[in-house]
C-alpha cells in the first residue's frame, strides 16, 4: 500500500510538472486534485467493465477478486506514469507571458505536447496497457474460474474501449 501511495504521488508530481506552465492558482489545484483521483476512476471503470462482461459470459467471480486483479493489472501503468514524469522533466516548457490570446495559448499547448519526448512517453504509456492486459487475462481466469478465451474476450473489449477513448481525445497519437 505504501508503494502504491508513493507511486501515486510521483504520478501527481509528473502531471504537476506538465501542467504548471499552463495553469495558475485554483485551476492548477483543481487539475492536480482531478489527477490524484484519476487512477481510482480508471480502476473503477475497468473493474466494473470486467464484472459486467464476465456476467454476460455467465462467469462467476466476486467483485472483490475482480477489483483486486484489476488493481494489480494496472501496476505496469505506473511505469508509464514514471516515463511521463521523466518526459515532463526533459520537455522544453513554452514561455508564457500572460498576454497571449486563446489561439496563441492553444498553439503553445499544442507545440509543447508535440515534442518528440512527450509523444514517445505517450506511446510507451499506452503500451503499458498491453502489459496490463496480459496480467488481466491471467487474473480474470483465476477470479472468475473461466476459460482463457472468456478472459481474453473481456480484456480485449475493455482495452478496445480504452483505445477508442484515447484515440477520440488525442491521447494515443
Q: What is the pTM of this model?
A: 0.67
The sign one gets for the Cα dihedral 160, 165, 166, 167 is: positive
Task: Give pLDDT tens digits for 151-160.
Answer: 999 999 998 8
Task: Give pLDDT tens digits for 97-150.
Answer: 665 667 777 777 777 777 788 778 778 877 888 888 999 999 999 988 889 999
Contact 46, 74 (CB under 8 A): yes
Contact 74, 132 (CB under 8 A): yes
Contact 59, 145 (CB under 8 A): yes
Roughly how many angstroms between the first and final C-alpha of the chain, as a whole number? 32
The sign one gets for the Cα dihedral 111, 113, 118, 122 is: negative
Longest dimension (CA), the chain: 60
Q: How far is CA 12 from the centre of its chain?
A: 12
> Which residue is associated with the grid cell 512517453?
121
Contact 50, 152 (CB under 8 A): no
Amino acid at each position: 500500500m505504501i508503494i502504491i501511495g508513493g507511486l501515486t504521488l510521483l504520478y501527481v508530481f509528473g502531471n504537476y510538472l506538465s501542467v504548471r506552465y499552463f495553469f495558475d492558482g485554483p485551476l492548477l489545484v483543481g487539475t492536480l486534485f482531478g489527477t490524484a483521483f484519476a487512477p481510482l476512476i480508471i480502476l473503477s471503470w475497468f473493474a466494473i467493465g470486467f464484472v459486467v462482461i464476465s456476467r454476460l459470459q455467465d462467469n462467476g467471480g466476486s467483485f472483490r477478486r475482480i477489483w483486486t486483479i484489476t488493481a494489480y493489472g494496472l501496476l505496469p501503468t505506473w511505469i508509464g506514469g514514471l516515463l511521463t514524469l521523466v518526459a515532463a522533466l526533459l520537455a522544453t516548457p513554452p514561455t508564457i507571458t500572460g498576454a497571449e490570446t486563446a489561439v496563441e495559448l492553444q498553439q503553445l499547448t499544442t507545440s509543447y505536447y508535440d515534442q518528440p519526448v512527450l509523444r514517445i512517453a505517450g506511446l510507451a504509456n499506452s503500451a503499458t496497457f498491453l502489459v496490463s492486459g496480459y496480467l488481466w487475462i491471467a487474473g480474470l481466469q483465476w477470479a472468475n474460474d473461466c476459460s482463457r478465451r472468456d478472459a481474453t474476450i473481456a480484456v480485449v473489449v475493455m482495452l478496445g474501449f480504452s483505445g477508442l477513448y484515447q484515440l477520440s481525445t488525442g491521447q494515443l497519437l
